[in-house]
Structure 1
Amino acid sequence: MNFIEKNVSVEEAVIILSQNGIQVDEKEAKIILELLYLVSKNYDKPKEKKILHP
């Protein structure tokens, strides 16, 4: 999976996760980052609710 713009490196992810009590190696951190980038790419912002008039 290739993302054009990655804002967090694998090394940074390992550090951030370890600061929050989650111990992962670089391979695991890469998988977590890929999942998060995929979720954010496919996230659809909530659409405006249509107001129905009776």
Structure 2
Amino acid sequence: MNYIDKKVSVKRAISILSKNGIQVDDKEALTIIDFLYLMAKNYRIFKEGQISKSKGEIEP
């Protein structure tokens, strides 16, 4: 997956993980970043759906 507006670089992800005792290479860090962006995207969509339901929208 390619996200245009990535705010976290691979080097930064490696650095953060390393501080927590997790050693990864560039490919693994990119996979982790992609996964976290996907989770954030799905959470945002879920949250928007919850807001719509609370306003009384009818589900299809």
Aligned to 1:45: 47
- TM-score calculated relative to the size of structure 1: 0.80
The structure with the greater share of residues assigned to helix is 2
Aligned length in residues: 50
Residues 5-48 of structure 1 show CA distances to partners (whole Å, capped at 9, x for unaligned) of 10100010000000011110111000000000011011122725
CA distance in 1, matches of 2:17, 2:2: 22
Q: TM-score, normalised by structure 2?
A: 0.73
Partner of 1:29: 29
Identity of paired residues, percent?
A: 58
Give distance in 2, aligned partners of 1:19 and 1:11: 12
User: Is there any run of 5+ residues in structure 1 with no aligned partner, and where?
Assistant: none
